[in-house]
Structure 1
Amino acid sequence: MQRPNVVLIMTDQQRWDTLGCYGNEVIQTPNLDWLASEGTVFDSAYSPSPSCIPARACLLTGMDPWNTGILGMGRGGERHMGIGFEHTLPGELAKAGYHTQGVGKMHFYPQRSLNGFHHTVLDESGREEDPRFTSDYKQWFERNKTGEYGMTDHGIGWNSWMARPYHAPEFLHPTNWTVNESLKFLKQRDPSKPFFLKTSFARPHSPYDALPYFFELYMQKNLPKAQVGEWAAMHDVPKDASSTDAWRGVRSDEDIRQARAGYYGSINHIDHQIGRLLSYLKGSGLMNNTVVIFTSDHGDMLGDHHLWRKTYAYEGSAHIPLIVKLPKSMGRTVERTDAPVLLQDIMPTVMEAVGLDIPQTVDGKSVIGAMKGRSAEARDFIHGEHSTCYSEEQEMQYVTDGRVKYIWFPRIGTEQLFDLSSDPYELTDLAQRPEHREQLAAWRQRLISVLEPRSAGMTDGDRLVSQAGKPFVKSPHYAERLARFPLPF
């Protein structure tokens, strides 16, 4: 029998609490909720480095951020994924005889690099970082538009909190294009081989430009308000808030409501288009022998704690959706699991599901044990990090088991502790409360145990060492890979 096919569906910047199967009673996501009913929902899935490039590098390679060498998208991290990874998920599947295709946002650099795919068809939003690069979507948009307008004539930036309905005909929206190109691949692929398809949407990442139907639908609904912790006044900075691309600051309830209407509408639209993809898999008989995975690279704060976008350890930014459906021939799986998991776990999960050896470079762990109810195989906790991006004070390290979260800010020397079981939106910081002193110390020690083997000066083995005023910590693995495979530009 042919190895199982694999379809990996990925959204960009979608937080965990924006699906019906995660308890959201406002948003409409019937297709993903159906997928969840057929597979396993991971209630404690996290991004190991919650911004686009470092998170996607972890998914691509199955490696931790320290080993990919990409710790963020700012002054302390390397901005480009680059090439030269010894093992990638599409590369290993291609070597095993799979026909591999990437559709949508890859965020590779160079932008036409394949990183193991046989072929990519790209929507890279506004990124044109290579000489003469124009994305396939943009070329298609320009050929098919019905008037004298451009992709961004709605006037909203790629990282803005602003929102409004999409300005062009529905068929031109990148969400539709991404599924159309995915269906084209499924119909034109090599039928003699199993396939790996990554369908990667550029939304609900800004711009929050939902189609008019979906935007108006959610403007009429009672949307969740922003969650603001008792500690969040530190992010009330009027100067920062004044930017249309603000990463923090107090915005009006109406601004937040419009942003959330655009964001929710984008997700509803994506769900409709995913329905087309799932319908084809079912109608063609492919679903019976296909592993289907849905996830996102990171979340979006959407005004929670006066913050926007990503890079933070907080739930809105770091907590992501993850749904995995195995073919029925692989046996029953649990409906939900609270095992803490990360994006780098997707590669070994796929490798185990299709019967291939997991490369030694992989740091992630297959989640199939958790899906089968083998709780003893779960980690005690997971670790995430992000280097300085918007501001030095936001550089962070975090550890969590999905029930408790500890955050350390190396550049300002502070820490936070949250009880996620009773406080899922992190409204109450327990770090300074005497009754939580022992718990705080225990979680701090867990972070020390992760950082000590790096010998990067962040801990002396007994305590965490402030990085204030010091050079940014960089992983040596990025420079090592760059020396072997220099970037061409």
Structure 2
Amino acid sequence: MGRGQGEMGIGFEHTLPGELVKAGYHTQGVGKMHFYPQRSLNGFHNTVLDESGRVHDLDFLSDYREWFGKNKTGDYAFTDHGIGWNSWMARPYHAPEFLHPTNWTVNEGIRFIDQRDPNKPFFLKLSFARPHSPYDAPPCYFDMYLRKKLPKAVVGNWAVMHDVPSDAASPDAWRGVRSDEEINRARVGYYGSITHIDHQIGRFLYHLRSKKQFDNTLIIFTSDHGDMLGDHNLWRKTYAYEGSAHIPLLVVLPKSMKAPVQKKVHNPVTIQDIMPTILEAAGVDIPETVDGCSMLGLMSGERAHWREYVHGEHSTCYSEEQEMQFVTDGVYKFIWFPRLGTEQFFNLSEDPMELNDLSHDAAYADTVRTWRRRLIKTLEPRELGLTNGDQLVSQAGKPFMVSPNYKTRKDKVGGWLP
């Protein structure tokens, strides 16, 4: 008998779909899972994959790419739009709309609803590859925004550091100034992709209603990151700034819960809070290893104690200058650049676009000090040399941080891990 990946330690002891499977749920993942190895189930009964351009496993072919090849109407490939997976360039989708990965993802979601085990409750994760680049909205959605006057990129009084022509020249640039026309076109493609997803989600929800499952289903809509789209001379993701880090989170409770909820909650929440929220709503025990907290109490207004702020970080991805640590409560934000030894501070309530760096403003000196202490307090227990307990410690010239299990996972997967 062969040993499963979970037994080999590549997977995780506790996952959201895994805990729901134990509780009797039928689970399915559709779209971009970002698992390694790519066919890992990580608790799902089944996954149907669209991994964009990722091929990290030997001979891997995503379900979407296989389907695209069988159903295309001419001699073209799924990448014939000519735009890279991280490019600032944009153009309308080159193939018929029904072949777009957004449509395929919803089609597979609908297929699961039709073919699932009717004797079990279900958990379905629909993971859309867009609006991540390529910004290739179908023509009708691209044209919808091409005719509109869209917001221009905002550039803070600190952002000249990212006006680097040699970086901007790359079609996959992470920073640098592009023309107003190029920035607007990127936004046209991005906004068009969002509306396209909205309409396809609407189609899925309509199907749930037709199957009389809508009122009995907990629905959560969120994202893993945003996109800078030229703001502050930056592109792509992995930043502490609002365009990248401030993501949507919408929760619709099933009518069967009959729970009064607040329409908007201002407490700082993170993606880590989604797993315990779903498990509590399903009446399933939350594993002790879970870092987040259930949001049900916040939504009902009954939870008096909640975290004061959230911590975010990203190690070097594009450049040492881009590595950052930050803490925010949605009103203030403190950012530290470990490789540069510099800081930024923003008053989001007065400056939501982060135009004015207040880290050297004497009027905010005490507030900056308070937030710096919060980051130090957050980092100290990790004992990674990021702080000596009193100060933040520069990481210039030091090895990059990786997960404690990085080497073990890399050796067992037998290949490259991001």
- Same fold per TM (> 0.5)? yes
Residue aligning to 1:232: 159
Residue aligning to 1:256: 183
1:398 correspondence with 2:363 = no
**Structure 1 unaligned regions, length at least 5:** 1-81
Residue aligning to 2:4: none
Per-residue deviation, 1:476: 2.1
Structure 1 distance, partners of 2:285, 2:152, is 46
Report the residue type matching 1:388 in the other structure: T
- 1:182-229 deviations in Å (ceiling 9; x for gaps): 000000000000000000000000100011111111010011111110
Report the residue type matching 2:122 in the other structure: F
> Is the 1:382–1:401 Cα contact (8 Å) retained in structure 2?
yes
**1:322 is matched with which residue: 225, 246, 249?**
249
Residue aligning to 2:118: 191
Per-residue deviation, 1:375: 5.4
Structure 2 distance, partners of 1:159, 1:277, is 28
> Is the 1:218–1:264 Cα contact (8 Å) retained in structure 2?
yes
Q: What TM-score, normalized to structure 2? A: 0.95
Residue aligning to 1:16: none
Structure 1 distance, partners of 2:378, 2:292, is 14
Residue aligning to 2:94: 167
- 1:413-447 deviations in Å (ceiling 9; x for gaps): 00000001111110000000111110000000000
Residue aligning to 2:311: 383
Structure 1 distance, partners of 2:146, 2:403, is 45
Higher RCO (C-alpha under 8 Å, 6+ residues apart)? 1
Q: What TM-score, normalized to structure 1? A: 0.82
Structure 1 distance, partners of 2:100, 2:403, is 38
The structure that has the greater radius of gyration is: 2
Count of matched residue pairs: 406
Q: What does 1:271-290 correspond to in 2, within 5 Å?
A: 271-290=198-217
1:417 correspondence with 2:354 = no
Per-residue deviation, 1:232: 0.3
1:346 correspondence with 2:270 = no
Structure 2 distance, partners of 1:119, 1:322, is 25
> Is the 1:399–1:405 Cα contact (8 Å) retained in structure 2?
yes
Residue aligning to 2:37: 110
- 1:49-99 deviations in Å (ceiling 9; x for gaps): xxxxxxxxxxxxxxxxxxxxxxxxxxxxxxxxx932110001111111110
Structure 2 distance, partners of 1:118, 1:437, is 53
Per-residue deviation, 1:482: 6.1
User: Which consecutive aligned stretches of 4+ in structure 1 deviate over 6 angstroms post-superposition?
Assistant: none
Per-residue deviation, 1:289: 1.3
Per-residue deviation, 1:329: 2.9
1:468 is paired with a residue whose SS is coil
Per-residue deviation, 1:473: 2.6
Residue aligning to 1:70: none
Residue aligning to 1:297: 224
1:203 is paired with a residue whose SS is coil
> Is the 1:161–1:245 Cα contact (8 Å) retained in structure 2?
yes
Residue aligning to 2:6: none
Q: What does 1:66-81 correspond to in 2, within 5 Å?
A: none
**1:364 is matched with which residue: 292, 299, 313?**
292
Structure 2 distance, partners of 1:307, 1:365, is 32
> Is the 1:83–1:115 Cα contact (8 Å) retained in structure 2?
no
Residue aligning to 2:197: 270
> Is the 2:11–2:40 Cα contact (8 Å) retained in structure 1?
no
Report the residue type matching 1:328 in the other structure: K
Structure 2 distance, partners of 1:257, 1:272, is 22
Residue aligning to 2:68: 141
Residue aligning to 1:451: 379
- 1:229-288 deviations in Å (ceiling 9; x for gaps): 010000000000000111100011100100000000001111110001111112221112
Structure 1 distance, partners of 2:349, 2:281, is 31
Structure 1 distance, partners of 2:305, 2:255, is 22
Q: What does 1:24-173 correspond to in 2, within 5 Å?
A: 83-173=10-100
Per-residue deviation, 1:327: 1.2
> Is the 1:397–1:409 Cα contact (8 Å) retained in structure 2?
yes
- 1:320-345 deviations in Å (ceiling 9; x for gaps): 00001111232111100111000111
Structure 2 distance, partners of 1:417, 1:475, is 27
Q: What does 1:472-483 correspond to in 2, within 5 Å?
A: 472-479=400-407
Structure 2 distance, partners of 1:113, 1:475, is 19
